[in-house]
Structure 1
Amino acid sequence: IWRYSSLTSLSNKLDNLTSLITSNMSRYSKLDIIIKRIM
């Protein structure tokens, strides 16, 4: 049971991390588009 709960908490942390990364990626992609327009 302990192992399972630790695994779920770990997966939750991973989910939070991936959502954070994807939100940052969308910001960076917008910046990338702007930079390409300027270039």
Structure 2
Amino acid sequence: HTGHREQGSMIRRYIAWRNRNTDNPRLRRIVKRANVA
């Protein structure tokens, strides 16, 4: 079980990665499918 601070850093890293890659339509489709799941 990860701590809250560790989980928060993971979420921030994921958001930063997603923000860098939203220009890629294929990646955006993958992210959208992941969000639905």
| Structure 2: gaps (5+ residues) | 26-37
* Higher alpha-carbon Rg: 1
Alpha carbon RMSD of aligned pairs, Å?
1.8
TM-score w.r.t. the length of structure 1 is 0.53
Segments ≥4 residues shifted beyond 4 Å: none
Structure with bigger RCO (C-alpha 8 Å, 6+ apart): 2
TM-score w.r.t. the length of structure 2 is 0.55
| Structure 1: gaps (5+ residues) | 1-8, 34-39
Name the structure where helix makes up a greater proportion of residues: 1
> Percent of aligned positions with the same letter in both sequences?
4
